[in-house]
A and B are shown apart, each in its own frame.
Chain A
């Protein structure tokens, strides 16, 4: 299957930790990358590879993977972290080259 499934929405209290998950068969063969998208803005890469952060991304963002599930963890969530988050990976089904997850809306309370 070329689908990556995410929970539609999660909430987290200011300063607490939230984990966003992404499930799909492709994740058994490829790492996920993660993107933050705020309203009206282009997506921004926050995690790629095993657990790599591009320059300028705070270290409160981290990634992990196990089996068919990849996770993005925000440790000590800030108000500015409220956004939509999308996972992405190469597609091992052969149908597509890349596939995006369904997206998770993170609300910081």
Chain B
């Protein structure tokens, strides 16, 4: 089955860290660029980060630059998001999404919830 499955979400205190994972199956993960997107409760979608298939090109949104790090392990068919210095405003559902030709996200995971609160 073609799917992306996120994991690693949970409750963390402000200033803390969390590492999200996205496991891919049914696709040739090593040939796909990938993205992280989040959605705060009751709010819209926010693109966070992009990584090419070989990790040679990486982009971040200003809101997470310097705090979040995207990475991947093609041997494990997995995408990661290391989140440091977490803030209340980072509370959201975090989605991984496959990049389609640099113009769309054609496959999404079900999301993992991250709550930053003391």
Contact = CB atoms under 8 A, between A and B. Distances in A.
Q: Which of A45, A96, A100 has the most CB of B within 10 A?
A: A96
A48 B110 contact: no
B61 to A, nearest CB: 5
A102 B100 CA distance: 21
Given A42-B111, A48-B100, A99 B106 contact: no
Contacts of A100: 37, 44-47
A90 B103 contact: yes
Interface in B1-37: 35, 37
B45 A96 contact: no
Interface in B89-118: 95, 100, 102-106, 108-111
A47 B77 CA distance: 27
Contacts of B50: 97-98
Contacts of A9: none
A96 B61 contact: yes
Interface in A39-56: 42-45, 48-49, 54
Given A35-B45, A45-B100, 10 more contacts: A42-B95, A42-B109, A42-B111, A48-B100, A88-B104, A95-B62, A97-B47, A98-B50, A100-B47, A103-B45
